[in-house]
Structure 1
Amino acid sequence: MNSDNSATILIIDDEPEIREIVHIFLKNEGYRVLEAEDGERGLALLQTETVDLVILDVMMPRLGGIQACLRIRENGNLPIIMLSAKNEDMDKILGLTSGADDYVAKPFNPLELVARVKSQLRRMKMTEAPPPQEKPQDEMAIGELTINILRHQVMLQGKEVALTPLEFDILELLATHRGQVFSVDKIYETVWKDPAMQSDKTVMVHIRNLRDKLKDNPREPKYIKTVWGVGYKID
């Protein structure tokens, strides 16, 4: 990944006015900015350009944001921030379930979007930092689950589990503080490194995705347990 001030941001949105205003604010921060008017054009640009983060609208002609997000996720963990004119919970859940890292509802404050971009780039940069020499304590086992912190690798019954960076960070947080209950807001502030603002759905969807990948039945959880009215923990 490029350093923050040289990162390339791809805006995929069918509204020229939205692309223009976001382009201006990002360019003022020193970012290189690319634009695409629909999902198909955006995917084509990703084949020819080195992109560090995608801002992706949900409702677009030809290829919508949800489908484009799923396609992008097939090829890696590129940070994705989804935009939507609808501030409905279901839209947010669909966006996050399809693999988006964050969600911003239109109309939005461009400065808030820039702050979200910076947060995602910081998080990704920390994830990609070269690890120090590995030590035995950097790997932990919880039942049939093995977590290697430095390699960002999770094994379940001897088979590797493909997690997004955010899913891994949530799992690492809970696993390295076994028995401690983390509220939704605390998980968001720790993992996303941003103040918790309407973070409940975002965290809950990522927890649900994580449980699905770990085959962890929430009614009889082996790993991630819900402490009702408080938060989540791993014993």
Structure 2
Amino acid sequence: MFSALVIDDELFAREELIELLEETGLIEVIGEASNAIEGLKKINQLKPDVVFLDIQMPQITGVELLGMLDAETMPHVVFVTAYDQFAIQAFEENAFDYLLKPVDTDRLNKTVQRLVKADQPSPAPYHAITPTQLEHVPCYGHNRIVIVSSKDIEFAYSDVSGVHIQTASQLTTSQLTLKVLEEKTVLIRCHRQYLVNLSAIKEIKLLENGLAEIITVSEHKLPVSRRYLKYLKERLGFH
């Protein structure tokens, strides 16, 4: 039995697919989401074996959502799309599988059999279709969802309550990991728990024992560990 999450902004399509999946007797649908932001949160919370993901969704597309996941812990992803056969060819070699809308029962059964035959969950080479850089980062503020432009982020840091994103005007929380933010945004590592945007650095104070402290343009203070100080200097042009 495989656990599954269905992400689709169309309620009817989502409900129909859930019904078809449950009829297979091999898929347990443990959650659903109506958009990519909600879907990202549920992927991290529920950790499904497979995600059935609509490609075309408002604000954040399915492909953009894929780029926000950590490749090392990514579940199988089955694209669900209304694209025609020619458009879908781009996905054939870079996804575990895909389904065309409206979903055909026989085609879905073939997808389920592929899951059964898979020795273990191992992500397909999604890098060929996912964006190398994220233009937007979905975040959560006070009773609202915020889409933050990645270039506006001053720094990000993690603590026991999650990953936090600081811009010049607000502090929000994101479902993205620091690793994904480091790999797919302009932020660079300055500490095990901190990433910083080079353009947001106002000054760097050199402290004792090879440590340092960053002052951002908004007067926030960030620690710099010995491990990353040399790299930070090099990125700023100091050798």
TM-score by length of 1: 0.46
The structure richer in strand per residue is 2
Greater radius of gyration (CA): 2
What is the TM-score when the length of structure 2 is the normalising length?
A: 0.45
Report which structure shows greater RCO (CA 8 Å, sep ≥6).
Answer: 1
Larger helix share, 1 or 2: 1
